[in-house]
Structure 1
């Protein structure tokens, strides 16, 4: 049975990823306004009533700014780690806040969501693998380096949202101050195009059908540059660049190849 995925937005101006089956879905992060989340899902023909929960990766504004509004209006639980919650300003009345624990699966209908820790400059950052009937989709963004857990989970996914935040030359020669360049490129910063490609080339399983390059920097990257870097190594995997201004199409991900 397939999973359906889309990036509703991906970048420092807001991140929100949809993963679901024909019955239920979840949002990974909610960095868009409620209105934009609704509009983009409507354009894709995805009913927001099908979304059953929001999962928060970390407390940075571009991942949580719309969470309270979306959750309150649509009566959705928010799964968030206790340490992230303390830094998030989401401890508001009227929100259904539920604890998220590392490597402890959460079931939402037939979907299983597993959070695992990652390296990033936040209080308790986590990435996610979403599993439905043996089909796995990973969300691997806001990562300073590909640690063992990232590698382990990436190598099992049929599709992935994979951070390709910056081009190393563009960052180094760009206008950002030195301290910010070091933070971005550090072990708790973001993955560069080249680091993401190394993970992809070395640990991509043969059955990975889609990679959505995500969280591209407006200042220090170029969508065409990132895509061109991956294309010679795709080996049957569809490469999509997730936009920082609009939703991607909905992609169908399945552990069982379609019969032509």
Structure 2
């Protein structure tokens, strides 16, 4: 009983997250091109044949720009709320479009995907928790502020992609115009390092083995700063900063935490029961 996760890309230039077991997988968002998705999954030894659906968090271009080509080429259903679909203006043609609702689990093979409402400046934004036989992985990005929903779901996760978008001092001193700074930090934009760390330090379950810090700002954050900040509070949880330029390794998430369980799926290549997974 285990899940495999990777960030294929994370940032304002595109977001795409993979969660799957040994038989099937889903993508949360498809904000990079179909070609880049294929290349990055191939480098990791992951097969697109195992991807059974794409779930869309909201309509901003860095989360949807690759959907149409990817879904059409691989005949993938797209799970998206009606409000998000109306605002996305996607040409999905013959793609199977399936609306979802908050707090109503969706079954994709052995995976259970549950959406919940988040605070972001989009029409109908949602975060997701993907479950498989008692293992939960959260995808929590593009969040203006933590809420009770986020705290509740974060506490159930064995691993999570968590936004740490900006350092407050870097944003304040940076080149962004005042209106954009306020949009980012105004409660419906993005999570700061401080907000994300407060969530992690205050509500991390003892069994959380991996945290992937996601959607870092290119201009208002620093990967080394974020890594050091969270590592100081990790208490055995493996901390990874998801890149805006390349995929992360594939991580194996098991149902119980131990320092032995909190591991990357090897270095180089390792044989799993669903194939060869290549890692950085």
Partner SS for 2:84? helix
Distance 1:10 1:93 in 2: 27
| Structure 1 residue matching 2:7: 3-state secondary structure | strand
- The residue number in structure 1 matching 2:221 is 221
Q: Which residue of 2 aligns with 1:41?
A: 41
The yes-or-no answer on 1:52 pairing with 2:25 is: no
CA contact (8 A) 2:54 2:78 kept: yes
Aligned position for 1:74: 74
Give TM-score, length-normalised by structure 1.
Answer: 0.98
1:233 match: secondary structure: coil
Which blocks of at least 5 consecutive residues in structure 1 are unaligned?
none
Provide Cα deviations, 1:54-79, integer angstroms capped at 9, x if missing partner: 00000000000001110000000000
1:174 is aligned to 2:174 = yes
Say whether the 8 Å CA contact 1:85–1:91 is kept in structure 2: no
Partners of 2:205 and 2:257 in 1: how far apart? 14
TM-score (norm 2): 0.91
How far apart are the structure 1 equivalents of 2:146 and 2:133?
26
CA deviation digits over 1:29-70, x for unaligned, max 9? 000100000000000000000000000000000000001110
Which is further off, 243-252 or 83-92? 83-92
- Say how many residue pairs are matched: 260
Residue in 2 aligned with 1:125?
125
Distance (whole Å) between structure 2 residues aligned to residue 16 and residue 143 of structure 1:
16
2:28 is the counterpart of 1:28: yes
The C-alpha deviation readout for 1:123-145, integer Å capped at 9, x for no partner, is 00000000000000000000000
1:254 equivalent in structure 2: 254
Single out whichever of 247-256 and 91-100 deviates more from structure 2: 91-100
Partner of 1:157: 157
Distance in 2 separating the partners of 1:235 and 1:93: 48
Instruction: Tell me which stretches of 4 or more aligned residues in structure 1 moved more than 6 Å.
Output: none
The secondary structure found in structure 1 opposite 2:202 is helix
1:91, distance to aligned residue in structure 2 (A): 5.0
SS of 1:57 mapped into structure 2: coil
User: What is the alpha-carbon root mean square deviation over aligned residues?
Assistant: 1.0
Q: Secondary structure at the match of 1:143?
A: coil
C-alpha contact 2:208 2:257 (8 A) present in aligned 1: no
Q: Which residue number in structure 2 is paired with residue 5 of structure 1?
A: 5
The equivalent residue for 1:146 is 146
Q: How does 1:90-101 map to 2 (within 5 A)?
A: 90-101=90-101
CA distance in structure 2 between the partners assigned to 1:256 and 1:216 by the alignment: 29
For structure 2, the residue ranges without an aligned partner over 5 or more in a row are 262-280
Residue equivalent to 2:275: none
